[in-house]
Structure 1
Amino acid sequence: MLFLTRGGSGWRKAATAATATALAATTLAFASSPAQADAENPVLAWNISQQYIDHFSVQSSPMAPVPTLTATDGATFAGGNITWTFDGATVDGSETTVQYNGTVAGKFGTFYGVTVEDPALVFDAATGAGSLVATVSGGEIGSETTPAEVTVAEFTGATVTPTTIAGTPNWDGVLPTGSAESLALNIPANQPVSGRSFDPAFLGNLTSGVRAHFYASLNAQGNEPASNVKKAPAAFTADYEVAPAPAPSVSANAAVNGDFVDVTVSGENVVPDASAQFVVNGVYVAFSEKRDIFDIDAEGAEDGAELFLATNHVSGAQLPGGVLSTVVAVDKTKLVRGKTYAIYTWTAHGNPKATDKAYTETVVDIPEAAFPPVIPPVVKKASATKVKVNKVPTTKKVGKATITVTGKNGTATGKVTFVLKKGKATKKIKAATLKNGKVAVKLPKLKKGKWKLTAKYAGSSKYKASSKTVTIKVKK
């Protein structure tokens, strides 16, 4: 990818002298050393060269074109330093290849520029020898190169660990002065000075007019300027494999404390997600019925206040070394016997996310004493209703009957209803209440004939319903 601005069918025309003047231009200040890689997010910290940083990012004089240095697609340029995003590592025999993503494009006004994309470190972990390769392209007025992957620089003696590599690319003697390879790159016969240069393959994929930024050159007087030191390939530091952080471990123990259940929560490695803001804010420790808590809509009806029965906020200052210690007090009246409850932790402030490194779910064993006492249900037993006609009614006199309800669950209580039937004729007797399992009722005067008396016991908390029918013969 070539970043340089085009006008019409080619580079906008400008005096040839502008290129020569720009090549000789230097800046007054050096940028700071490359940033250290972030172990949480592996990066390659590599500035290409100090000359590249200074020449394409600092205005050297009021008369010079405006330089620009942009970093995209995974690369960053901040504080005078370039970083590239880790993309993966592979091992083939003794050779390790670590790939990074990102595009860095430097241009000097509209006159010329150099783009470096997707660098990779290829090295022998045992010896620390290897090379920096990248997709490189360049352009200047009237010409440009096709992006191609080339060796940018080689290195020896890099410091290699199972997760990092750091080194300084070779500079001295890389491209011998006046060699056939050097002359083929249109480098003057008395240069590069002491063979100090980026790799010839890198120079070969730049346009001729910008190569002098990447080897030790001589000025118009035939002297070596002090600025040559800035042209050396920049040292690099890189993370390429990060041991996963220990997973958070949380325990929760519940105990009844008056009207509350105190849940004592302890944990290790409970570290908020890697953000200065989040680290300060700490974590939430919340008690809820066990559920999927990742569908919380903070702007809807089902936000944290609705989901959780109790919540504590533990600040970053209260998490020394990821050690968590807090007590969550839960109102006993909010607990329901038979449900499963859990303590949840996640990074504050915000809704929980499954990717949150501080997220945990810990089931809590609620003591039985936290719930109201259980009253065992009464099992109703069968009842037996008996009817004894003590005095048979007549057409002129009332009668009397005694109803007894018995069973194997103690004395029966409740009401008994009565119905007298003879053919289609029906007479009802007012319901009576059992006393000590018995009740006596008056039988009304009846016409002659056979009447059926049915006594129905409605049942109670201890007994099932039952009934009894007897025949009464009214003779006079």
Structure 2
Amino acid sequence: MSTTRATHQRRMRTRLAVSALAALAVGLGPLMVAGHARAAQQSVDGVQLRWGINAESNKRSPIGYNLLSAGRLGNPGRGSQQLKDADNGATWANGKPAGWKATAGNVRIEKLQANDSYRLASWEGLRTDKNGAALTSATNSGHQVVIDQGTGSLDAAADDATITWDGDFTVAFYTGMIFFYVSDPKLVVDDGEGRLTATLSGFGSDIDDPTKWVTVAPAEVTLATLPSVDVSATGLITTPAYSGVGYDAPSGGVEQVRTGPYWGSFPKSFVDFQQTTGLGAYWYSSGGAADPYKPALPITVDTDPAVQPAPAAKLAASNRVYGKASKATLTLARPTGSTAAVTGKVTLTWPGVKQTLPLSGGKATFTLPKTLKPGSYPLKVAYPGNANYDGVEVAKLVTITKAGVAKPTWKVTTKPTPKKKGKATVTVKSKVNGAPATGKLTITLAKGSAKKQVTANLKNGKATVSLPKLAKGTWKVTLKYPGTATHQAANSKPADLKVAG
């Protein structure tokens, strides 16, 4: 995201402070209003919600690391799966689509920078602190969920607000071995006390039995209890309750430890849901080394968020045939009214591929590998932004089809006889240069009720085979190539083989 975000957040705090002082100056401060006097409600839209949840959600874990993703990660279908690093989380270890993203609809994930600004998240940044150093047990990656386009109403004088957002994000632990979805948050504040709620769903597993994988039914829960909220016309910044909040673990669960400087809990309905995912004790004090990183982080709601323009992105990438080289070109155009050039680097990811290139004239062209097997794959290119422009991601589904082949042919180099074996060379020519056919080919020789078969193993589209002894007469010969994961099937026309006596 833009380097001005930290400046904007400081500006917002200043606006909130000025609003409060102005209210006190005219006798309208919350502590001075008799009978809960109300100003007219103010309708709001384009409201931004920003929350880092807690430090533990952004830390290195015993197996991998904990992370946030915009949108919903795909279901790996079974337990013990982690996001694949080779393709920036596009797939799971078992090859199923995962789709880690920094942006999805109204939702984006942003990372804290060394200068305390925020920019659009990158896959590499999930494992580093704000200075780019690898995470340690004492640091976190500093990511936040940002959801835009909230709508609703607020009453600053009465400290009331009702705002809803439309969007999904994923919270994943152990690089995705356990994760859950958060959907459509809603903020309700009444007389300075509030709640942030959302619908949770996802999957249940167990770090002690990672093969476990069950669907967890959706549930509406309280994400954060907000005991003291000062609502301003420009929004609010508040820290959710955690310290000193008790939680009674279910039978068989980890008991809460209620001593020490970090004891507390997220709201009960939220933690109860996490008991079904296998993450229950990560959201309340359990006496472990992670306790200092569990408390909820501040929530920011901004009715006038600073938004830098994002360049218009266009990704050109065509479907192709296996074995053929192809390219993908990202074009970033300046937004209307902007004069600064779009500069920086962009990163392309798809299964097994990760490339980073500098922009030149607002463009970057990537060469895609010829060796990816046929199938449909998500191709994603991300631009993290710079001092002038917001970051942007663009994705496209690219389909790779099997290479075609010509009809199999053969050439008899030694004719078989009733007493001697013969020899032949078979060929399956690929229609794509540089991608020769492989696999098995079956030769069938038939004469009347007699039938014999020979199997050839193709190498670079050819194979030499031994033909069996054959009785005198004319044999019908057919060659059948069933195809492979990379090449289409093909059969020869029947041919005659005359065998002398």
TM-score (norm 1): 0.37
Which has the larger Rg? Answer: 1
Greater RCO, 1 or 2 (C-alpha within 8 Å, sep 6+): 2
TM-score under structure 2 length normalisation? 0.35
